[in-house]
Chain A
């Protein structure tokens, strides 16, 4: 009999029962919440006179809506103020630990969970945000949920779920210089499609993933949902344990040793059965840039833009060309940009800022380009400043901001306007995503964004290393 995957093992240990509908009632080990998707869930609890079943397993922060420049209260945006106050009231009433604006632990929910050691291998983790797959980097079964599901987790610490199949994605070999985790995941989505992961959890492995830092693995897992996979994960290993050791919510001493033994036990067995296996080679991955309106519409930096007929959905590609305003056959290299955004739950961690700072150091942002660096958390900001990264960025002409989701989704004052083109280290290039219905987004690694900012156009970062 074949061995089990990490997914199988966590699913089994967290199964409460099989519901009459046939769904599994799954225990949720950690619940993270933020201001955007939770207010109606708390309202539903109040309407039904319910409490939180396991209040110590939910943690809250504010990230999506917070301004990253002037953070004084009340916010200039009355709606943002109202929504933030709603969360502040709810966490107080229901007894949830809250990392608010004044907290040293405030930040993007998917940055602070790992940073605090809340995210651990072998857990189930849910959050009302599709990029919850980020936490899978730790060997955590982590997924995004809607507001009705947030209500269920609050009320019962469980969810009614259907089990997924597991696809193993091996990234073999090694990455070249100037090729990052972002390029890996964009290449995977490009190959398997934005709906290719439907019904699957993605297990990432192979030499390239093994060699990655936790930050890089988080970047890969973060965008699993952009490939249609609800869950993406990496089996925990020495890199994982090293990252976790000493973090505030991670056990210490003998308890840490017991934790490591448990974490090792939940990794996929060597003879685990996979429903599908896909292989990529790191040497085939170039710095990668999206050209269209979904993350699967991407090309390597040396490539030309594909013909619509090259895609399974030519009409979708035509729609993308119509919105973006370029022609098939054009080079992606040299595409002009107006805005450069470094940050987000995909690429707003210290390692990302270091990679971008390395490119920016001693150079200048091209005149007329609006360039923002937005740390993923207050802690990332503090650590970056300790290393002097903020000086490198500001001397180069980047704006250095407070932590938040910022221009990834433009629910705050950071937005594109009109037809602006953004080089962005975020995760979605959907129409209107960055705040202007006519705006255009090119997704790429933080180092590539930095290089684009210096030149006012898309360049090959490898020429700056």
Chain B
């Protein structure tokens, strides 16, 4: 199994993607899901918003050299809605994003991020706006997302963040990659299964 990595804090510069209901088809167009591994996903986030049909750059925060190297992403409401494709968080993670701060996240997307060790944390609209404005005014601003203390700090600011307690616990204990945790209980799994009548075809 992979080694246990406790995710307590993500620090770095940030980049903002404004707008509600940004779906996973926009985060990564379906044609890139044809690849057999996630290895190249980091080349594709927001592909059709960043490149025109001939491959020329369009104005987009991910194309803007000011935000190069950003490891924290600021978003608005219901980010990552739509498809369950893990390719979407994989694309963001492999591009360099290690934490996402937003007003809210779609359920499957947030679950996928957590299982990859990428925290998705929520703050109010006003606080997202404040952080987006801060990074737009000074892209070099350093932010720290602290999962343990449930804060985002930058400059003199300290903003309280929220995330499901179960996600927080998984991240800070290093059990976000849940396979080992689940496999430890295989005997109990078999017992639970044996009590479900459909598992033996409703034999009397």
Residues of A near any B CB (own CB < 8 A) = 13-17, 19-23, 25, 27, 29, 36-37, 39-40, 43-44, 48, 50, 53-54, 64-65, 77, 79-80, 82-83, 86, 120, 122-123, 128-130, 132, 144-149, 151-152, 155-160, 162, 194-195, 198-199, 225, 228, 230, 251, 254-256, 258-259, 262, 294, 313, 315-316, 319, 409-411, 428, 430-433, 435, 437
Give Cα distance in the complex from A433 to B82, angstroms. 10
Distance in Å from the Cβ of A135 to the closest Cβ of chain B? 14
Q: A83-B34, A194-B21, A315-B20 are in contact. Are A16 and B185 (CB under 8 A)?
A: yes
Give Cα distance in the complex from A383 to B177, angstroms. 44
Whether B173 pairs with A20 at a CB distance below 8 angstroms is yes
B19, B107, B169: which contacts A22 (Cβ < 8 A)? B169
Chain A residues near B199 (CB, 8 Å)?
A: 29
Whether A152 pairs with B78 at a CB distance below 8 angstroms is no
Distance in Å from the Cβ of A267 to the closest Cβ of chain B? 15
Interface residues of B in 68-115 (CB under 8 A from A): 77-78, 81-86, 89, 104, 106-108, 111-112, 115
Q: A430-B26, A437-B48 are in contact. Are A157 and B193 (CB under 8 A)?
A: yes
Whether A20 pairs with B181 at a CB distance below 8 angstroms is yes
A sample of 20 cross-chain residue pairs with beta-carbon separation below 8 angstroms, ordered by A number, consists of A21-B173, A25-B182, A29-B199, A36-B33, A39-B37, A53-B186, A83-B35, A128-B86, A144-B84, A152-B179, A156-B183, A156-B189, A160-B166, A194-B78, A251-B201, A259-B202, A315-B19, A316-B20, A430-B82, A435-B31
Give Cα distance in the complex from A147 to B85, angstroms. 7
List 19 additional contacts besides A14-B196, A152-B179; criterion CB under 8 Å.
A16-B189, A19-B175, A21-B169, A21-B181, A22-B166, A22-B169, A23-B170, A40-B37, A43-B37, A79-B35, A147-B38, A152-B178, A256-B202, A258-B197, A258-B202, A262-B202, A411-B30, A411-B31, A432-B48
Whether A259 pairs with B197 at a CB distance below 8 angstroms is yes
Chain B residues near A158 (CB, 8 Å)?
A: 182, 185, 189
Q: How many residues of B are counted as interface, with CB atoms below 8 angstroms from the partner's CB atoms?
A: 63
Whether A39 pairs with B29 at a CB distance below 8 angstroms is no
Most buried by A among B78, B85, B182: B182
Whether B188 pairs with A16 at a CB distance below 8 angstroms is yes
Chain B residues near A435 (CB, 8 Å)?
A: 30-31
Whether B179 pairs with A195 at a CB distance below 8 angstroms is no
Whether A146 pairs with B111 at a CB distance below 8 angstroms is yes
- B191-204 contact mask (Cβ, 8 Å, vs A): 1 or 0: 01101111101111
Residues of B near any A CB (own CB < 8 A) = 1, 19-21, 23, 25-26, 29-31, 33-38, 48, 53, 77-78, 81-86, 89, 104, 106-108, 111-112, 115-116, 164-166, 169-170, 173, 175, 177-179, 181-183, 185-186, 188-189, 192-193, 195-199, 201-204
Q: A27-B193, A29-B196 are in contact. Are A432 and B25 (CB under 8 A)?
A: yes
Chain A residues near B85 (CB, 8 Å)?
A: 36-37, 146
A14, A39, A255, A262: which contacts B192 (Cβ < 8 A)? A14
Chain A residues near B115 (CB, 8 Å)?
A: 146, 148-149
Chain A residues near B37 (CB, 8 Å)?
A: 39-40, 43
Whether A437 pairs with B53 at a CB distance below 8 angstroms is yes
Kindly report which residue of chain B lies nearest to residue A80, judged by CB atoms: B34
Distance in Å from the Cβ of B102 to the closest Cβ of chain A? 12
Q: A130-B108, A160-B178, A411-B34 are in contact. Are A262 and B197 (CB under 8 A)?
A: yes
Give Cα distance in the complex from A198 to B111, angstroms. 12
Whether B192 pairs with A145 at a CB distance below 8 angstroms is no
Q: A19-B181, A152-B178, A157-B189 are in contact. Are A145 and B198 (CB under 8 A)?
A: no
Whether A79 pairs with B34 at a CB distance below 8 angstroms is yes
A198, A251, A313: which contacts B104 (Cβ < 8 A)? A198
Whether A145 pairs with B23 at a CB distance below 8 angstroms is no
Give Cα distance in the complex from A430 to B182, angstroms. 35
Whether B192 pairs with A15 at a CB distance below 8 angstroms is yes
Give Cα distance in the complex from A207 to B48, angstroms. 44
Chain A residues near B21 (CB, 8 Å)?
A: 194-195, 294, 313, 316
Give Cα distance in the complex from A255 to B204, angstroms. 7
Whether B86 pairs with A20 at a CB distance below 8 angstroms is no
Give Cα distance in the complex from A48 to B31, angstroms. 29
Chain B residues near A160 (CB, 8 Å)?
A: 166, 170, 178, 181-182
Whether B189 pairs with A37 at a CB distance below 8 angstroms is no
B36, B112, B183: which contacts A148 (Cβ < 8 A)? B112
Q: A20-B169, A156-B183 are in contact. Are A40 and B38 (CB under 8 A)?
A: yes
Chain A residues near B83 (CB, 8 Å)?
A: 129-130, 409, 428
Whether A230 pairs with B36 at a CB distance below 8 angstroms is no
Chain B residues near A195 (CB, 8 Å)?
A: 21, 77-78, 81, 104, 106
Distance in Å from the Cβ of A180 to the closest Cβ of chain B? 23
Whether A258 pairs with B182 at a CB distance below 8 angstroms is no
Whether B36 pairs with A82 at a CB distance below 8 angstroms is yes
Chain B residues near A53 (CB, 8 Å)?
A: 186, 189
Q: A37-B84, A130-B82, A144-B108 are in contact. Are A258 and B20 (CB under 8 A)?
A: no
B26, B36, B77, B82: which contacts A86 (Cβ < 8 A)? B36
Chain B residues near A129 (CB, 8 Å)?
A: 83-84
Whether B179 pairs with A155 at a CB distance below 8 angstroms is yes
Distance in Å from the Cβ of A346 to the closest Cβ of chain B? 14
Distance in Å from the Cβ of A49 to the closest Cβ of chain B? 10
Whether A313 pairs with B20 at a CB distance below 8 angstroms is yes
Give Cα distance in the complex from A237 to B54, angstroms. 55
Whether B165 pairs with A147 at a CB distance below 8 angstroms is no
Chain B residues near A256 (CB, 8 Å)?
A: 202
Distance in Å from the Cβ of B172 to the closest Cβ of chain A? 10
Q: A228-B78, A437-B53 are in contact. Are A148 and B116 (CB under 8 A)?
A: yes
